[in-house]
Chains A and B, each alone.
Chain A
Amino acid sequence: MADVASFDAEAVTAAVAEGIEKIQNASTLEELKAIKSRYAGAESAMTLASKAIGALPKDQKKDAGKLMGKLRADFGRAFGTKESEVKAAEEAAKLASETVDMTQPVNRKPLGARHPLPKVMEDVQDFFVSMGWQVADGPEVETEWYDFDALNFGPDHPARQMQDTFYVKGNQAKDAAGFVGSNMVMRTQTSSDQVRALLTRGVPLYIACTGRVFRTDELDATHTPVFHQCEALAVDKHLTMANLKGVLDKLAVAMFGPEAKSRLRPSYFPFTEPSAELDLWFPDKKGGPGWIEWGGCGMVNPNVLKSAGIDPDVYTGFAFGVGIERTLLLRHDINDMHDLVEGDVRFSEQFAMGE
């Protein structure tokens, strides 16, 4: 044998055919690499045959070159096709091996929850803000003057005794009837903020006060000694009871949906005259659409305006208060006040971050 093998067309064709067959039987990239090296590498029959072309007589070179071109193309095509196939199969197998059950619960950073009471208060505040009103809150331990006297509950007013008031202990002060005490109470109503707001902000005034209030009712399914109210107060020239009804209807819709509406019934509060009970109608009421008590309201009593130094002949005003607990109970079909006040996480969690 010479250094350079002689060109053997038949042999190289057979070798390439063998290589192509091996390619077609291969199933891994490693196998393909080995086949490529063996049948197309430096020592392969194909490479050696190409080199041998140089030694051929001139008239045979052309045919030999043509043959080698075809063999190389056949081999390359077969290799390329198989290589893509194997790659795709290997990737598919890898992905298959990575398959998980996506329904396994994942909760690495659990969301907490807001309590629905402050969230509803925020909803109510947002309603008033959307109407261009201000929002405020006053002290929970309040002077009797702001909670009662300024609101036209004189010291001997029967309604003052009906408020089931928590009194703050003290012996430093005397009330107007001469009873020794502190002249302080846990505020019985957010109406105590009315005169504070009028005194500090003046008129015209459109303000909503949300907050906690206190009455000596034992906790049961429908009562709690600590509860929340939203008080709304508007004092301006030319305000009438018609404006009160307008705002109430809007609030009912904001809190209970587009079909909700309000209704007034005559009642009595020392700080309003005329006074009314406020009923709410909404379609999703438990037991079917209907009216339900929601709060109290009326036109600000002239004596209240006078307590704040405002001339009742020039200004009129309306005020109303709604219970936040009541709003929640009605809206969310909560049957037991205990659930609202006990702080069981299972209750709050139903509301997540609020609506």
Chain B
Amino acid sequence: MPMIDIDWLKDHVEVPEDLTYEQLAKDLVRVGLEEEEIHRSQLTGPIVVGYVVDATPEPQKNGKIINWCHVDVGDEYNETDENGNKVPRGIICGAPNMAAGEKVVVTLPGAVLPGDFRIEPRKTYGHISNGMCASERELGLGDAHNGIILLREYGFSKEEYDALEPGDDAMELLHLNNPLLEINITPDRGYAFSYRGVAREYHHATGAAYVDPAIELGEKAPHEAKSIDGAAPVKDMDVFVEDNNPIHGVVGCDRYYGRIVRGFNPSAPTPSWMRRRLIRAGMRSISLAVDVTNYVMLDLGQPLHAYDLNKIEGPIVVRRAGEGEQLTTLDEKEHKLSPEDLLITDSPNGERASRILGLAGVMGGLYGEVTDETTDLFIEAAHFDQVTIARSARRHKIPSEASRRFERGVDPQLQPAAVEMAVELLTRYGSGEGSRTPVDYNQTKRPNDIRFKVSEVSRVAGLDLDTNRISDILTDIGCHVGGGGNGEFSVLPPTWRPDLTEPCDLVEEVARLVGYDEIPVIVPPVPVTGDTGLTLEQRRQRWVADTLAQYGLVETLSYPFVGDADYKAFAMDAKAIKPVSVEITNPLAGDRPFLRRSLLLTLARTVQRNIRRGLQNVSLYELGHVFLWDPNAPAIPALPGGVKPTDEQLAALDAGLPDQPQHVAAIFTGKAEDSGWLGETRDVDWSDAVEAVRRVFDRLGAELNLVQPAAADVPAEWHPGRYAEIVAADGTKVGEVGEFHPHVNEALGFPEHSAAFELNLTAWLPTLDDKPVQAKPISTFPPVRQDLAFTVPESVTARQLEDVIREAAGDALESIELFDVFSGEQVGEGQKSLAYAVVFRSPVKTLDASDSEAIRQAIVEKAATLGAQLRA
């Protein structure tokens, strides 16, 4: 983003002498130009002007010639001889352009240069060198390192140069110690990509006097000659815009202005002040011709292109690319062009529009560029369609300084002024002469007037302002304001503000210039309409999260991205899972381009990270979305904004989206109980996971149903004998619980018997009963307690036996608890023993011995249907 140099800003707006960069940042942010960073100098002095008193060449054995110099750096810094007299410093310098009589830049001991390069006296080539004469590169001023800085060549006037005294602060002289303000430009403020625009904004922020530089330049700039008596007018170049493929019906180029400069001196150097400004703006100094085009772009915001006139042949044709055309851009990259790309072409050998000079508004091609032999220049200033430029820069991945400006919008009336400024600079510093017969293809349209009700300012911004004040503000930003009698203005926005098209845009301009701080603060009363408060589903999700934390689990969040390594660790079939997974086109990690279908995959990585950090007994849970891709889902239509889609279109938008249910999952590793010195300790297993699920179900008032499939039907990531499906009251499967397969635990580095569950909240929560709990009466009759131990075949589940006991006991059963499970010789092969403590209690009477015996008998008979026998 642009660098703002106060020294440059002063060209267009009056700034206080003592303006600091901090204050400038504060001023600009008030009107919406945000500070990115204040860049501070990387240099520490002393760095001073030196006068080379003598320079003695001393050839060295290696063939180099080294100069042993004496440089006067002023009394403060000169050496003192044995008699106490001040004498010039002895300095060794290897630069070929070192010569006696030059004024140079000397970095003295104590100075620190970029890269933490510390200057100290050092013994070299048989002398003590007591400082260093610096090159541009050494000072961070640019790339030049083929010699030291000679201030004579630095663009000072004779008087200025003569006034330079040894010992003068060169940091000040060359602006080496000046900070820079980098600002952020929002996409609507293309015009602020220039000093012209930033200066105007500074004026808006502070009221400082501002002069738009484009006005005077525009007045000086020549116009295209009119045709007289049907004769072709004299102009520097024939230019045609032939757009056979406009985007959204907008022709790619609506203005093309160009002028010739002849007799230019290609070896003329860029003046130091311009080079300094360019370098401080973050651009390289290349040659005067190129530097001037860049300088004008930074100053006015109009990208320019300079061609070597003798290499191009008119007419210039601005056209779209044809299929199969290619271009090598200035950065030496090859691009296959698209029929949407807008090109600047010329017509060699009479072959019209046959040679591509560049990708319009984005980057020039290798042919036609200005070189160090160019004496005649053709300067182009055009106005291109924002969308065309944005797409080309995006398509070819070559965002440039020019494309950045064109895609945000360049002032379509700025072109003659920008070329005028370039011609003035080129002829002043590089001699030559600018033509007065420009070409100006101009199909630009006047911006639309905005009908602006003054009352919009209070209706939208809540600001009560006087009508005249609103009119003044709009005039100050460059609008022509007319009408106003009936409370409605007709506002013509300035050409540099293509973002101003709607009344709300003008409201913003008024509000930001008045200051957002002036807007009152009023809390709106909210009308109670429909449901307020959290929905039951939202509350239930919180209950789930709280229940698991209270159970002792730690909540974490993980990124949803997964890939082959995760599928492999979970023994999943990647080939089967990828076609039903959402894939990201541009993932951050190329090996994890998919979105998870299960939270466990990414939660496991979090567990792993904790274990690798030396933590033990890591049991975590996560609530989050999973993403289920449907390869057969219909395509999602592209619809315009600003128009309400039809119901069919809205349905089509949602129909194409993948299902994204919310899940909760937990993983248990290490110790389930570890009471330390109390001595109670136990490793986690499946039962901890089941208990966690049961607590969640209890918390939400639901009954937990687990269905345990046959080992062969258990998914590969789970222990075949320790896995169950979680089933909702309506019979749908809503989750899974169990221990990981030992292979999975091993692959993940988890302890044996690590356990987990995953529950689909989106599927489960709607199956829950929303009705208030219907309370049963509490019986105060005495209970009857009995223990019932059954021998049952191994295949009978505890749940099956409990269900039949409940059924047989009916209302008399108050509670049932499985208190003992064992198998072995006592119960026989293929059998197990399940022992229950049951409590009977009647709501209407005291149960006597015969009552309880009858219930017991009913239970025994019913249990027999499962092959269960009561043990003696």
Residues of A whose CB lies within 8 Å of any CB of B are: 104-115, 117-118, 122, 125, 129, 131-135, 139-146, 148-159, 161-162, 166-169, 172-177, 181-184, 186, 199, 201, 204, 206, 212, 216, 218, 225-226, 234, 236, 239-243, 245-247, 249-250, 263-268, 270, 273-277, 299, 301-304, 306-309, 316, 341-346, 348-349, 353
Contacts and interface: CB of A to CB of B under 8 A. Distances in A.
Given A133-B526, A169-B584, A345 B637 contact: no
Given A226-B560, A276-B516, 4 more contacts: A173-B637, A264-B516, A266-B32, A306-B643
Contacts of B587: 166
B529 A204 contact: yes
Contacts of B554: 112-113, 115, 345, 348-349
B760 to A, nearest CB: 16
B642 A118 contact: no
Contacts of A250: 523
B508 A273 contact: yes
Listed from nearest, the 3 A-B pairs whose CB atoms lie closest are A240-B462, A266-B32, A343-B556
Contacts of A133: 526, 532
B710 interface: no
A103 to B, nearest CB: 12
B609 A342 contact: yes
Interface stretch (B60-68, B489-497, B649-657): B649-657
Given A241-B511, A250-B523, A273-B505, A184 B34 contact: no
A246 B461 contact: no
A108 B677 CA distance: 11
B644 A343 contact: no
B408 interface: yes
Max count, chain B CB within 10 A of own CB: residue among A110, A173, A174, A348: A110
A265 B657 contact: no
B555 interface: yes
A137 to B, nearest CB: 9
A275 B508 contact: yes
Contacts of B231: none
A348 B556 contact: yes
Max count, chain B CB within 10 A of own CB: residue among A148, A173, A201: A173
B640 A112 contact: no
A62 B610 CA distance: 94
Contacts of A304: 641
A159 to B, nearest CB: 5
B188 interface: yes
Contact of A274 (B507, B550, B623, B640): B507
A236 B524 contact: yes
A173 B189 contact: no
B532 A132 contact: yes
B524 to A, nearest CB: 4
B520 interface: yes
If over half of B's interface residues share one DSSP class (helix, strand or loop), that class is named, otherwise mixed; here it is loop
B641 A307 contact: yes
A345 B391 contact: no
A167 B623 CA distance: 24
Contacts of A306: 642-644
B588 A241 contact: no
B642 A152 contact: yes
B529 A303 contact: no
Interface stretch (B91-99, B320-328, B541-549, B845-853): B541-549
B676 A107 contact: yes
Nearest to A249: B521
B386 interface: yes
Nearest to B29: A265
B559 A245 contact: no
Max count, chain B CB within 10 A of own CB: residue among A263, A273, A341: A273
B636 interface: yes
A353 B549 contact: yes
B181 to A, nearest CB: 16
B186 A168 contact: no
B394 interface: yes
B606 A167 contact: no
Contact of B637 (A113, A183, A268): A183
Contact of A245 (B519, B584, B593): B519
Max count, chain B CB within 10 A of own CB: residue among A174, A242, A301: A242
Contact of A265 (B516, B527, B553, B624): B516
Contacts of A349: 554
Contact of A184 (B504, B618, B656): B656
Contacts of A344: 609-610, 613, 615
B585 A169 contact: yes
Max count, chain B CB within 10 A of own CB: residue among A168, A303, A306: A168
Contacts of A275: 508
Contacts of A118: 545, 555, 557, 623
B594 to A, nearest CB: 9
B545 A268 contact: no
B604 to A, nearest CB: 11
A273 B522 contact: no
A267 B519 CA distance: 16
Contacts of A218: 588
B638 interface: yes
A266 B615 CA distance: 48
Interface string B362-388: 000000000000000000000000110
A241 B610 contact: no
